[in-house]
């Protein structure tokens, strides 16, 4: 929850909207769970000021103090989520998206009906604590995918067409569960089926590589016997083994990348797919966790201030073009000391539906950043 920022504490609060009763509270510092918790009086005050505004037909969505950003969001007049962040460079946009993903995770594991008709708050608190503990630590029919370390490395077209919440949350869920040879796991789809559960079937094909199927009442897990698996997967055993290393690097072995590239995020805005890695090579510094924070913070910055947010429908795209006739094609910043030859380089370029963000070493000259990013985007385009 907090790994995207630098040095700061993040508090996440979930309350029943009607009563203000806390359902769960989570805190982290520097990306690691923290024991520090907000006093109940502070939680009550944060919820109280939000409810006071609602009674006056005023929607309080965010606020800032000298060192903290607060964002409120209510869902279905039943659940109120509040996040407080003292991380450097945080933004309301990133925190609002965090709350949307948190609620999506709750729907994924509990179902919308259970969340919008809270009959037993204590039972719900217990279910959410048990279900979200594993998920928060990691935070991974016609609907099929191969998942490595919480990442989808291959999938059917139907899987790719899943709504944004479940497309992100299902692989996270699979990556957060303890290793098992097979699973039959009930899930609700926040976008496609929030009240009727589906079944998530997973089968371990190789250590670290799982086959995931999203289906209804059929087929039973017992029908997916070893003979059926051997028939379809034994002939492609070598390509399957090649998928396992993609979990961290996300790129095929031997794919040519400039040695200055320390991390990248490639987005296809129309397909709603991405390719992300902070381990493109064997370079040790900075750490993968530091690279991830730098790239995610840079993504938040360019999305909130430079590039428009990813449009959803065709109508959204028309509105976006009408509102912003001049959209930047590239931008960059230097993170760290301002002395020449120091500080990590971050650059973003956009061409058509693709947007590429790169994290580069301090040795990369600033005057060559756009050319390097454009060349890299052209090389990566066949992959996404």
Common-topology check for domains 143-244 and 249-383: yes
CA trace torsion 189, 194, 198, 200 (10° rounding): 30
User: For residue 224, how many C-alpha atoms fall within 13 Å in the half-sphere facing its CB?
Assistant: 19
Q: Provide the pLDDT for residue 139.
A: 34
Residue 70 has pLDDT above 90, yes or no: yes
> What CATH fold (topology level) applies to the domain 143-244?
Beta-Lactamase (3.30.450)
User: What does the pLDDT average to over 170-181?
Assistant: 89
Q: Provide the pLDDT for residue 4.
A: 43
Q: Which of 130-144, 252-266, 324-338 has the lowest mean pLDDT?
A: 130-144
Asked if residues 35 and 323 have their Cβ atoms less than 8 Å apart, the reply is no
Residue 312 has pLDDT above 60, yes or no: no
Higher pLDDT, 154 or 331: 331
**pLDDT tens, 357-369?**
999 988 888 888 9
Residue 283 has pLDDT above 70, yes or no: no
Does domain 249-383 fall into CATH 3.30.450? yes
pLDDT bin (cut points 50, 70, 90) of residue 313 is: very low
- Domain limits of the chain? 9-136, 143-244, 249-383
Check: pTM over 0.75? Answer yes or no.
Answer: no
Higher pLDDT, 267 or 312: 267
Q: Provide the pLDDT for residue 347.
A: 95
**pLDDT tens, 240-277?**
776 777 666 777 766 778 888 999 999 998 888 888 88
d(CA 290, CA 61): 30
Q: Provide the pLDDT for residue 12.
A: 93
d(CA 27, CA 38): 9
Q: Which of 69-73, 78-82, 252-256 has the lowest mean pLDDT?
A: 252-256
| Buried/exposed code over 272-311 (b: 16+ C-beta within 10 A; e: otherwise) | beebbbbbbeeeeebeeebbbbbbbbbbbbbbeeebbebe
d(CA 338, CA 335): 8
Q: Provide the pLDDT for residue 1.
A: 39
Cis peptide before 219 (omega within 30 of 0): yes
Q: Which CATH architecture has domain 9-136?
A: 2-Layer Sandwich (3.30)
Q: Provide the pLDDT for residue 259.
A: 86
């Amino acid at each position: 929850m907090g790994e995207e920022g630098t040095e700061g504490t993040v508090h996440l609060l979930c309350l029943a909207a009607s009563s203000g009763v806390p359902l769960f509270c989570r805190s982290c510092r520097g990306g690691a769970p923290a024991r520090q918790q907000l006093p109940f009086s502070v939680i009550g005050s944060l919820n109280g000021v939000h409810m006071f505004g609602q009674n006056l037909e005023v929607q309080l969505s965010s606020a800032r103090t000298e060192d903290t950003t607060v964002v409120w969001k209510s869902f279905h007049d039943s659940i109120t989520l509040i996040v407080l962040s003292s991380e450097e460079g945080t933004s309301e946009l990133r925190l609002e998206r965090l709350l949307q993903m948190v609620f999506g995770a709750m729907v994924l594991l509990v179902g919308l009906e259970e969340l919008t008709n809270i009959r037993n708050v204590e039972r719900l608190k217990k279910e959410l604590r048990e279900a979200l503990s594993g998920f928060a630590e990691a935070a991974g029919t016609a609907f099929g995918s191969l998942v490595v370390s919480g990442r989808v490395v291959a999938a059917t077209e139907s899987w790719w067409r899943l709504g944004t919440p479940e497309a992100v949350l299902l692989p996270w869920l699979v990556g957060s569960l303890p290793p098992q040879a097979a699973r039959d796991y009930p899930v609700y789809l926040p976008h496609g089926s929030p009240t009727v559960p589906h079944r998530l079937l997973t089968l371990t094909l190789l250590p670290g590589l799982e086959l995931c199927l999203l289906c209804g009442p059929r087929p039973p897990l017992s029908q997916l016997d070893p003979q059926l698996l051997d028939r379809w997967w034994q002939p492609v055993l070598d390509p399957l083994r090649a998928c396992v290393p993609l979990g961290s690097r996300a790129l095929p072995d031997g794919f040519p990348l400039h040695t200055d590239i320390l991390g990248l995020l490639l987005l296809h805005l129309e397909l709603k797919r991405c390719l992300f890695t902070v381990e493109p090579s064997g370079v040790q510094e900075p750490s993968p966790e530091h690279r991830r924070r730098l790239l995610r913070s840079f993504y938040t910055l360019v999305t909130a201030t430079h590039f428009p947010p990813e449009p959803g429908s065709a109508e959204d795209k028309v509105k976006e073009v009408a509102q912003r006739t001049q959209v930047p094609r590239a931008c960059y910043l230097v993170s760290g000391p301002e002395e020449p030859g120091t500080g990590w380089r971050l650059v973003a370029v956009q061409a058509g539906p693709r947007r590429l963000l790169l994290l580069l070493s301090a040795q990369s000259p600033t005057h060559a950043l756009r050319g390097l990013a454009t060349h890299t985007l052209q090389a990566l385009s066949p992959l996404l």
